[in-house]
Amino acid sequence: MNTEILGIIFMYGAVVLLAIPLGRYIGKIFTNEKTWLDKIFNPLDNLFYKLSGIDISKEMNWKQHLVALLTINAFWFILSMFVLTNMSWLPLNPDGNPSMTADLAFNTSVSFVTNTNLQHYSGETGLSYLGQLMLMLWQFISAGTGIAICAVVFFAMREPKVSSPSGRDREGLLGNFYFLFVRSCTRILLPLSFAAAIIYAFNGTPMTFEGKDTVTTLQGDTVQVSRGPVAAFVAIKQLGTNGGGFYGPNSTHPFENPNYFTNIIETISIFLIPIAMIFAMGFVLKRRKLAWTIFGVMTIGFLCLVIPSVYYEMQGNPAISQMGIAEPNGSMEGKEIRFGSAASAYWAINTTCTSNGSVNAMHDSMTPLTGMFTLLGMMINCFYGGVGVGFLNFYVFIILAVFISGLMVGRTPEFLGKKIEAREMKIAMLIALLHPFLILAGTALASFLYSGNPEAYSGWLANPGFHGFSEMLYEFSSSSANNGSGFEGLGDNTPFWNIACGLVMLLARYLPIIGPVAIAGILASKKYIPESAGTLKTDTATFGLMVFAVIAIVAALSFFPALTLGPIAEYFSLY
């Protein structure tokens, strides 16, 4: 078997083997069971609770959880805006990088607050070290809030009379958000990031506060090379499905991703916590079969995207082949030779099926159908997804599938002993349709502006035509999926793109959190109906197939007309 394919199988197998015990550990973190790290982190957690005045014994309902999440996000957004617009005179700026403009600072702050990490700037020249540290902190906070709010939904899904972490009966109460948030950061994200950062540092990734270094290249040229606290930044960017690069080229840069070994660690890091969260749900609910059913559906969807992507990139670009140029290594335009075409395609689907958005190759240079599959990963936005919020997106499709299945068999729809009624369905459909609306409406507006006056907006598209349309479609898909990657032929550091993408990121982050949490909270307050012979089993292959069909119909088919105008049309234009 091809060694590149073996590398992909190894990476996926390793992440699943690691995710199962990690999921059990995360489940214990949520339910406040003893773990071997308690002696290390209990004092740290208690210090945070004391300094913040948090009473972890105070239970919250779903509305209070959302208020806490939004308050934390609003506070750090304001602080981020202040730092980014004043970097030039603030400390930790050895290279003298300038402050950001207001529109770019807005886009960047929103981007990191929402776990998107869309970057309309080049990291090493666009930020001071203080700015990088601020954004690195946000990568912990945004990931931690996503994990914590997902735990709230897990608690809402449990059967009644199950004790909450504080020991109280959880009738209408779903734990304490601050308790879950602090533990998600200190006991999940921090230790994993520390271990990963050590690996990166020992493999050549910089970890310093010194400024640029003078380096003599192999050609004998003397150049200034940017450095910084890169290893720590890279660790949390991958594990928190953040994806923001310390350098402009992200993980194509040899300092962010020095070799194939670090490429393996970074690739595993992208998927590790999103998959572990599925098994954490099985542990919390004591429904491991349901967890495996959800994992199976997500995996089938993921494989439907990754297998053809790897195939097409390994086959090469037909336009280059027609020029008589051999492509023994596959399509290598925009890729690093140290990773190869297969591992680059695998990373591309990894990063777009999650809300990670980091890159180890330029997606803009992918063959057309691989570009389409990266778009589909973000458009569907629930095959593993981001830390915590990936499950919330999938939860909406579960509710839709339960309701449709109930109607098909002539029985009141129920999920885990709770009736699914009109109010929950209205919320679920609004959230399911929000994502296509934001992507398609944004792309339509951008296309209208460009086509109406291409000279005024000539800086937008380096590749007008089918590919240029794909670039705009990709930008709004990435923003709405809280992904952050891009087709970098698009000139996106303009007031229009900064503000438009910023608004899309805000709506696409918080409404899909509010909706599933509201559904879960409403269901948690309903009367529990014990399972009977007529109860729809949600942990079977049949139900898994139903969920997959709903995802395909509601999500994927919504985007087919747009995809025909972009990557599909570009594909046929090559022949």
Task: Return the pLDDT at 454.
Answer: 82
Within 286-388, residue ranges assigned H as helices are 288-315, 318-321, 340-353, 368-380
pLDDT tens, position by position, 145-195: 999 999 999 999 987 754 444 433 445 678 999 999 999 999 999 999 999
pLDDT tens, position by position, 339-378: 999 999 999 999 999 999 999 999 999 999 999 999 999 9
- Residue 534 pLDDT more than 50? yes
Residues 196-224 have a mean pLDDT of 90
Task: Return the pLDDT at 321.
Answer: 82
**Residue recorded with tokens 């699914």:** 420
Q: Average pLDDT, whole number, for the chain?
A: 91
- Residue 535 pLDDT more than 80? no
Q: In this prediction, what percent of the chain has a pLDDT beyond 70?
A: 97
Task: Return the pLDDT at 163.
Answer: 46
pLDDT tens, position by position, 382-397: 999 999 899 999 999 9
Contact 470, 78 (CB under 8 A): no
* Residue bearing the bigger pLDDT, 573 or 167: 573
What is the torsional sign of CA 24, 26, 32, 38?
A: positive
Q: Which helix (H) or strand (E) holds 47?
A: helix 38-52
44-66 b/e (C-beta count within 10 Å ≥ 16 → b)? ebeeebeeeebebeebbebebbb
Q: In this prediction, what percent of the chain has a pLDDT beyond 90?
A: 75
Contacts of 111 by beta carbon, 8 Å cutoff, 6+ apart: 117, 118, 119, 244, 484, 501, 502, 505
* Residue bearing the bigger pLDDT, 356 or 574: 356
Task: Return the pLDDT at 554.
Answer: 83
